[in-house]
Amino acid sequence: MPVSMAALADDLAAESAQLRGLLTGLDDAGWRRATPAEGWTIADQVSHLAHFDDVAVRSAVEPDAFRAELARIEAEGGVDPDAVAARYRDLPGAELLAWFDRSRARLVETFRGLEPGLRVPWFGPAMSAASSLTARIMETWAHGQDVADALGAVREPTARLRHVAHIGVGARAFSYAANGRAMPDAPVRVELAAPDGSTWSWGPPGAPDRITGPALDFALLITQRRHRDDLALAVTGPAAAEWAEIGQAFAGAPGRGRRPGQFAGRAR
């Protein structure tokens, strides 16, 4: 079935609405509440999304300008998410939310009208427009998890987790490159229990290396929002075990992840 940019755009809008529901009504102290990402507040999580929404639009509509900016950033040592977050820390919560709304609306509108196979530059390998939009869904879900954790909220798993898992599986080779490791030749089979009871799968059915379990748990693993020890995932084989250790669905340097037991006792 061909990729539908309209369907992806609708899913991003829905994921954005879920995040916005957590943000609505926050006072200044709420915006400055610490999240599990070390040194980052809820405001930092939202400014990160808004900033890179603007960047994603630029990569699609002004690719040459984006490449020039990317070359400058790489010459200066690469993207520093902490420096990006620090840039916007003086913005009040209401301004941050208004910026996020504007940036997200423009992103959805822009990408909805693109051909799914259009190649757009990004930090790391270029991606198709469909993959770029899927990555924004993944980023929104992952940073939304940090916001939910900061607020003690539990989000209902949805079919949009498939996007998170899909881009996580596709980023396996990048995960190795980001960590300076050679990826083994062995394929990994991923079988996940979807929220509706169906099964999502990637990789050869007969592969001895496997990761199986709830889709939510795989999404938490591959976005590094939970430690593997705290997840109900069955990991079989050395190639699967190594990937579970270093896997990341997001671009950039290897993440610091979360500590074992960091969320002990919290509902999932």
How is the chain split into domains, by residue range? Answer: 5-155, 162-246
The pLDDT-based confidence of 124 (bands split at 50, 70, 90) is confident
Average pLDDT over residues 225-237: 97
Q: 3-state class of 199 per DSSP?
A: strand
Tally of CB atoms within 10 A around 131: 22
- Opening angle at CA 244, ends 241 and 249, nearest 5: 150
Which residue carries 């591959």 as its tokens? 222
**Element holding 261 (H helix, E strand):** none
Name the fold adopted by 162-246. Answer: Nonspecific Lipid-transfer Protein; Chain A (3.30.1050)
**Element holding 191 (H helix, E strand):** strand 189-193
Q: Retrieve residue 14's tokens.
A: 């829905």
When the candidates are 1.20.1730.10, 2.70.98.10, 1.10.10.10, 1.20.120.450, the CATH number that belongs to 5-155 is 1.20.120.450
pLDDT tens, residue by residue, 24-69: 999 999 999 999 999 999 999 999 999 999 999 999 999 999 999 9
pLDDT of residue 266: 63
Q: 3-state class of 95 per DSSP?
A: helix
Cα distances (Å, whole numbers) of residue 117 to 2, 4, 13, 94: 10, 11, 21, 36
Is the confidence at residue 268, as pLDDT, over 80?
no
Average pLDDT over residues 162-169: 98
- What sign results for the dihedral spanned by CA atoms 62, 64, 70, 72? negative
pLDDT of residue 213: 98
